[in-house]
Amino acid sequence: MLALDEPEAWGGLVDLPATADRRAADRLPAVLGGTEDQVALRAAGAYGRRLRPASAPADPWRPHGTVLVVGDDDSAEHLSRRFAADGAEHVLRASTADLREVLDAAPGPITTVVQAAAGDDPVADAERLVALLAGQPLDAVVLMTSIAAVWGVRGQQQAAADGAGSTRWCTA
């Protein structure tokens, strides 16, 4: 975020291995004099920051059972219609405020959860959602966050921090 919000103060970022070997040390001067401003040095080489498109799966995932969409914005509405069209037996909508009540009234076990929009505290909302669904055998959990958490957006430091904090639950 510093690179976007304070570019004149940004010098770059070099991610070094926990135990630097000779090859990583030998690459450091070239990285410091290069054009990349974010580089990871490893024994196998120097790596610049990149995003790559993911390959499409041979057997695409389809919703089934009961899908819970958390959020009350346009994206939640769109996703709800899409899940219903793609085969979900039930699609439930909940705001972060009425989540417990919607879960209690679910017609069957929740198989998929999508947090399409969070409230004022996205990290706390993700923590609450994870806690409420603990122990349920879910096929998918999707936490939608700001792209600022991936590559940064000028002036969106809080969105970046919230997105990074929320996505840590994707591996919980």
List residues bridging with 169 in a β-sheet. none
Q: Give the pLDDT score at 93.
A: 94
- From 94, 160, 164, 159, select the one nearest 133 (Cα to Cα): 94
Domain boundaries, given as residue ranges, for the chain:
2-48, 66-171
10-residue mean pLDDT profile of the chain (172 residues): values are 74 87 88 90 87 87 93 89 96 89 93 80 78 87 73 70 64 50
CATH number of this structure's domain 66-171: 3.40.50
| Joined tokens for residue 96 | 């972060």
Which uninterrupted H or E stretch holds 56?
none
Question: Cβ(107)–Cβ(88) under 8 Å?
Answer: no
Q: Give the pLDDT score at 172.
A: 47
List residues bridging with 153 in a β-sheet. none
Q: Give the pLDDT score at 89.
A: 97
The pTM score is 0.68
Would you give the distance in Å from CA 4 to the centre of its chain? Answer: 20
